[in-house]
Structure 1
Amino acid sequence: MTFTAIDFETATAFHPCSVGIITVENGLIIDEFVTLIKPPNNLYNPFTIKVHGIYPRDTVNAKSFLQVYPEIKKRLQNRIVVAHNESFDRNVLSKSMALYGLNYDELNIGDRWECTVKIYKSKGFKPTKLSDCCRVMKIALNHHEALSDARACANLYLLK
């Protein structure tokens, strides 16, 4: 089991304000990366703040997506990528890359990622929110904290 799990928290629509990435080699977590990201104009939707508790004051001095991207790229390129509700995180990544003129195809990670929502739904889990799956599988989670969510997703994938 060699893969990378990723989770984005967003400020508005697809603009990330945090990313957590877990690298797994042969079934073991070998790297964890997390950082805040300053969204364009440091703008936030009040709803997203309620979800993850990240405020504009937290990201005012953070790096932009473009500045963080090299760290993301080195962890994702040519890897199997896993996310909980993969279409959300994949769209955040691809749309953010497009905004800065970055070529998604260069990552060589495919148009669909492994999705722990789909995996656990197929196992009969209802509901399949990350917090619900983690509760049933007894996985520690500080929900809506990007690194914790990515780590939990990695552990769910390892237990599939």
Structure 2
Amino acid sequence: MIDFCAIDFETATNDRHSACELGICIVENGEIVETKNWLIKPPSYPYFNPYNVAVHGIEPSEVADAPTFADIWYEVEELMYGNLMLAHNAGFDAGVLRSCLDYYGLFKPKLNYLCSISIAKKSWKMLPKYGLSSLAEFHNIKFKHHRAGADAEVCAKIALLGFEKLIVTRNDEVKEVFKKNLKVL
């Protein structure tokens, strides 16, 4: 069966290491088993770019007592350990993860990741748009967009629907079908 984790970051500024929220959705044996969400105090605190706040709605006051990325990383790493990582627009989320690890001087795990947009494009070739909200609407999935836990969970649901449509049932099949799209952190 398929095991992976879907992640999503929200950022406080244009700096990739400015994560202010992280969501992770764990999939084991093709089923969602857990979704976790952390508010994060970014290095720029208390400054948040007004544009970013307009997108996700997270205010500096909400992260005043939140842990830093370094404080939560070991718990997050344990959830991700050995898993394929998925994200919608994975280049952004992988970049935020990489930048946060670099900023805090943390070891970068060797992690394969895949963009759920690639899964969607291969699964539903006729769609006009492949944004997370468009795909959720297409599949009648309701969620609060631009909140990390909700976005990670919708990413996981869309990936599972895509894998089902493509008759991809195991991680080795994911690696075979998406070998050109798989990246390493």
Q: TM-score range by the shorter chain?
A: over 0.9
The whole-number CA distance in structure 2 between the counterparts of 1:143 and 1:27 is 23
2:9 alignment partner in structure 1: 8
The whole-number CA distance in structure 2 between the counterparts of 1:134 and 1:147 is 15
Q: Shift in Å at residue 41 of structure 1?
A: 3.5
Query: Is structure 2 residue 63 aligned with structure 1 residue 59?
Result: yes
Rg comparison, structure with higher value: 2
One-letter code aligned to 2:21: S
1:68 alignment partner in structure 2: 72
Instruction: Look up the SS of the partner of 1:4 in the other structure.
Output: strand
Of residues 32, 36, 40, the one that matches 2:35 is 32
Q: Does the Cα contact within 8 Å between 1:11 and 1:48 map onto a contact in 2?
A: yes
Q: How does 1:1-160 map to 2 (within 5 A)?
A: 1-13=2-14, 14=16, 15-42=18-45, 43-104=47-108, 107-110=109-112, 113-122=113-122, 123-124=124-125, 125-160=127-162
Q: Shift in Å at residue 126 of structure 1?
A: 2.2
Aligned length: 156
Deviations 1:70-95 (A, max 9, x none): 12111112110110000000000000
Q: Name whichever of 81-90 and 134-143 sits farther off.
A: 134-143
Would you identify which runs of 4 or more consecutive aligned residues in structure 1 move more than 4 Å?
none
One-letter code aligned to 2:39: L
Identity %: 37
Instruction: Look up the SS of the partner of 1:139 in the other structure.
Output: coil
One-letter code aligned to 2:7: I
One-letter code aligned to 1:51: V
Q: Shift in Å at residue 139 of structure 1?
A: 1.6
**Alignment RMSD (CA, Å):** 1.1
The whole-number CA distance in structure 2 between the counterparts of 1:76 and 1:92 is 15
Where structure 2 has 5 or more consecutive residues not aligned to the other structure, the ranges are 163-185
TM-score w.r.t. the length of structure 2 is: 0.81
The whole-number CA distance in structure 2 between the counterparts of 1:82 and 1:139 is 18
